[in-house]
């Protein structure tokens, strides 16, 4: 591939993977599957192998873990946390073993399970736990000590002989599969969204602001490595990652990884009882195959996504060394996503908030990748045909990215002739209106957007969701109560709710006939919603294609709902981040009378429909118009999100990776690799004071 083409592809993929990482680790809401991430990473590695100049320090191939979020205090690890290289097949494993042998890495090997959990770094001083941190970017993590102290199996105080002065231990925290099922049932009963898999639930539980919530979630942990050890007589052993590796000497220190595990067990750490030391590669392969077998994959109380193989001898580990990201003496054998079979009992259709009618599979409940699945979307009529599934079929099911249930297709050999084809309904299952399908469109839609009860409920539910007004108390059951009990007809009536109207629904009233807490909370949150940023109000209006990103772009460019309503198609389409499809949807939306009456009702109820002090005539001339800013490291007065909001509010663009298009890099504490990249591209770098000067005086104020 030519260098220009390779550079372009590299930039595209890097952006995608960095964004995916941010969503996965910081927002706890993954958007792409692990498999897709791994494929992307491999493509990047291949590009870099052909064009080594693309291997910059901030390439996703060089990063360990994730960027850190600003919610918890950042702390620096004593030793950097490394990652692991992956293989995905028996052949790739053999290639790794050959390479390792070439560097002196032969048996005995230590085989252990790769826990699908959250990496944790624990520091003990004189045998007492003094700090626990998440992995973060491998150098700096987030301090989660109070939360980790609630994990029963992580010792607060070590016991036994030879306890070092300072001991840094690595491991994984996880939510046992059983606790995960229980937690999800509880969440669902409380009308809250369930977690997609044990890993997300574990992350959500560990990163709670209130450690009491963490304590209630019964997290577990397994340790698998040592970062730093300082002996009691001032001898220091500084670890590479999984085992200490230095010339330093600790009295009686083990000489193997497994020896250390036994020592850690003696001191009170939770060490896996499933690890195995074997002498030959064939035995390693047996271990890998054993746990790959669906019969054995769930034997451990935690979810696993593969097996980790380590050279057991620490002397050999030291001799083999590491790359910038991972040790050469260890490898992760990643398993493909788990596939199971179940019966397709029926295909039903659901109606979404914009009237889209989506078929979904109803299946005999089956456990896959950690949770029980009974439904999966089938997307649209064509997709059902393409998959070739019949009602009554045995189907193959997996979770894409361990998250989204996906029907792969039928097991045709299991058919007995009783199966029947699905017929897509021609009428809306909710309101009976004849469905329509536009030219070139794949979806059938219910055109009765005004009155269809399913659409009214879906719109209310979306409006209360995280991207809209974020009213947690208004879950699905609350929405159903509001509409079915006749408290509101649609979103237009929402802000006219009051204590009197809420009294009419049993959902908001207790046995004594008084309003429940959820009612006052709902009224309070609705009051707050009135002053939410303009982009959230746009999202809440349920305009087709206008999610948070497009809404932000529209809000920044126009400053008010009125200005957006009056803008021409071409003007809307010319806005960065909008384009003709969204522009068309916006124009269509504002041409419908009842939509305008929703806007009107909200306005009369006091919902702010414009950005205060925004001057539409100055849109193009706003302070940071055309300026792209990347923020890295920790700032004192702004969280990352606040800093990015401040840039956008001034008309600028905030992005996450440095490129030639970046106008300024704002670097706080621990800026890292983005700093180096900006410097190499000659991009001006601002500290926090410089950033404030940029916000108040524009680019000229910080001209260098």
- Residues of this chain that interact with ligand IVH (CB under 6 A) are 82-84, 112, 114-115, 119, 172, 224-225, 241-242, 308, 327, 330, 332
End-to-end CA distance of the chain: 38
Sign of CA dihedral 575, 581, 582, 585: positive
What residues are annotated to the active site?
114
Nearest approach in angstroms of CB 402 to ligand IVH is: 14
Q: How many Å apart are CA 704 and CA 702, to the nearest integer?
A: 6
| Least distance to ligand IVH, CB of residue 343, Å | 34
631, 632, 636, 642: CA torsion to nearest 10: 40
Question: In terms of CB distance, is 324 or 510 closer to ligand IVH?
Answer: 324
674 DSSP β-pair partners: none
Q: Which residues are 119's β-sheet partners? A: 172
- The two beta strands, 628-632 and 444-445, are unpaired
Q: How far is the CB of 313 from ligand IVH (least distance, A)?
A: 15
Rg (CA), the chain: 28
| CA 343/CA 333 separation, integer angstroms | 31
Structure tokens at 522: 């709902």
Tokens of 591: 């041409």
- What is the maximal distance between C-alpha atoms in the chain? 82
Other C-beta atoms lying within 10 Å of the C-beta of residue 560: 16
Q: Of how many residues is the chain composed?
A: 704
The residue (of 214 and 245) whose beta carbon lies closer to ligand IVH is 245
Q: Which is nearer to ligand IVH, 114 or 640 (CB)?
A: 114
Cα distance between residue 436 and residue 427, in whole Å: 9
Cis peptide before 108 (omega within 30 of 0): yes
**CA dist., res. 118 & res. 141, Å (int):** 12
For 609, what's the count of Cα atoms within 13 Å in the CB-facing half-sphere?
Answer: 16
Nearest distance, CB of residue 273 and ligand IVH, angstroms:
13
Burial of 290 (0-12, 13-18, 19+ CB in 10 A): middle
The answer to whether 350 touches 360, Cβ cutoff 8 Å, is yes
- Please name the residues in contact with 701: beta carbons below 8 A apart, sequence gap of 6 or more: 693, 694
Per DSSP, the three-state class of 589 is helix
**Cβ nearer to ligand IVH, comparing 172 with 688:** 172
3-class state of residue 470 by DSSP: coil
Question: What are the backbone angles phi and psi of residue 420, rounded to the nearest 5°?
Answer: -135, 155
Q: Which residues pair with 399 in a beta bridge?
A: 405
What is the β-pairing status of strands 685-686 and 276-278?
Answer: unpaired
Measured from the CB atom, the residue of 82 and 554 that comes closer to ligand IVH is 82
Residue ranges of alpha helices (H) inside 129-256 are 145-148, 177-189, 198-206, 211-215
Q: Is there a contact between 676 and 630 (Cβ–Cβ < 8 Å)?
A: no
CA distance 321 to 329: 7
Q: Which tokens belong to 657?
A: 């990776």
């Amino acid at each position: 591939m030519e260098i220009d083409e390779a550079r372009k592809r590299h930039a595209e993929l890097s952006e995608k993977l960095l964004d995916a990482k941010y969503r996965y680790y910081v927002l706890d809401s993954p958007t792409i599957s692990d498999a897709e991430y791994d494929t992307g990473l491999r493509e990047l590695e291949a590009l870099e192998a052909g064009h080594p100049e693309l291997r910059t320090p901030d390439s996703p191939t060089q990063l360990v873990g994730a960027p850190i979020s600003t919610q918890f205090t950042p702390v620096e690890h004593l030793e950097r946390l490394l990652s692991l290289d992956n293989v995905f097949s028996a052949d790739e494993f053999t290639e790794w073993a050959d390479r390792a042998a070439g560097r002196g890495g032969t048996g005995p090997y230590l085989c252990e399970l790769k826990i699908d959990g959250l990496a944790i770094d624990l520091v003990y001083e004189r045998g007492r736990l003094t700090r626990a941190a998440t992995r973060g970017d491998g150098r700096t993590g987030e301090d989660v000590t109070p939360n980790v102290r609630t994990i029963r199996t992580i010792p607060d105080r070590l016991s036994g002989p030879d306890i070092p002065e300072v001991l840094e231990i690595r491991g994984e925290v996880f939510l046992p599969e059983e606790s995960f099922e229980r937690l999800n049932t509880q969440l669902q009963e409380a009308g809250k969204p369930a977690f997609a898999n044990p890993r997300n639930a574990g992350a959500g539980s560990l990163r709670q602001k209130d450690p009491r919530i963490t304590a209630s979630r019964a997290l577990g942990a397994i340790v698998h490595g040592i970062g730093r050890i300082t002996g009691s007589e001032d001898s220091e052993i500084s670890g590479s990652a999984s085992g200490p590796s230095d010339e330093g000497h600790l009295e009686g220190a083990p000489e193997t990884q497994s020896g250390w595990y036994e020592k850690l067990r003696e001191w009170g750490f939770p060490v896996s009882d499933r690890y195995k030391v074997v002498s030959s590669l064939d035995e390693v392969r047996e271990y890998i195959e054993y746990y790959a077998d669906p019969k054995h994959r769930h034997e451990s109380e935690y979810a696993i996504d593969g097996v980790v193989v380590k050279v057991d001898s620490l002397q050999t580990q030291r001799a083999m060394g590491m790359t910038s990201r991972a040790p050469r003496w260890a490898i992760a054998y990643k398993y493909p996503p788990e596939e199971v079979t179940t019966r397709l009992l029926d295909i039903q259709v659901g109606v979404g908030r914009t009237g889209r009618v989506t078929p979904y599979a109803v299946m005999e409940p089956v456990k896959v990748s950690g949770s029980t699945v009974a439904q999966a979307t089938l997307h649209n009529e064509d997709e059902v045909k393409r998959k070739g599934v019949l009602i009554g079929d045995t189907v193959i099911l997996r979770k894409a990215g361990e998250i989204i249930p996906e029907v792969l297709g039928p097991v045709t050999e299991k058919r007995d002739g009783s199966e029947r084809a699905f017929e897509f309904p021609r009428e809306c299952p909710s309101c009976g209106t004849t469905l329509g399908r536009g030219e070139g469109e794949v979806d059938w839609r219910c055109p009765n957007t005004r009155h269809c009860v399913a659409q009214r409920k879906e719109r209310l539910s979306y409006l209360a969701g995280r991207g809209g007004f974020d009213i947690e108390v208004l879950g699905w059951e609350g929405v159903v109560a509001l509409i079915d009990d006749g408290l509101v007809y649609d979103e237009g009536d929402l802000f006219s709710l009051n204590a009197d109207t809420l009294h009419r629904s049993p959902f908001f009233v207790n046995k004594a006939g008084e309003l429940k807490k959820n009612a006052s909370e709902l009224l309070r949150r609705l009051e707050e919603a009135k002053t939410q940023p303009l982009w959230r109000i746009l999202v809440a209006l349920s305009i087709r294609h206008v999610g948070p990103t497009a809404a932000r772009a529209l809000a920044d460019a126009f400053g008010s709902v009125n200005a957006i309503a009056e803008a021409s198609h071409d003007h809307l389409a010319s806005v960065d981040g909008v384009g003709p499809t969204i522009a068309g949807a916006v124009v269509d939306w504002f041409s419908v009378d009842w939509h305008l009456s929703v806007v009107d009702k909200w306005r009369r109820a006091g919902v702010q429909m414009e950005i205060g002090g925004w001057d539409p005539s100055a849109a193009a001339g706003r302070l940071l118009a055309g300026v792209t800013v990347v923020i890295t490291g920790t700032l004192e007065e702004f969280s990352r999100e606040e800093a990015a909001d401040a840039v956008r509010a001034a008309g600028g663009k905030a992005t996450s990776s440095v490129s030639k298009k970046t106008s300024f890099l704002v670097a706080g504490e621990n800026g890292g690799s983005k700093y180096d990249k900006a410097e190499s591209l000659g991009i001006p770098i601002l500290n926090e004071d410089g950033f404030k000067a940029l916000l108040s005086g524009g680019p000229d104020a910080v001209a260098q």
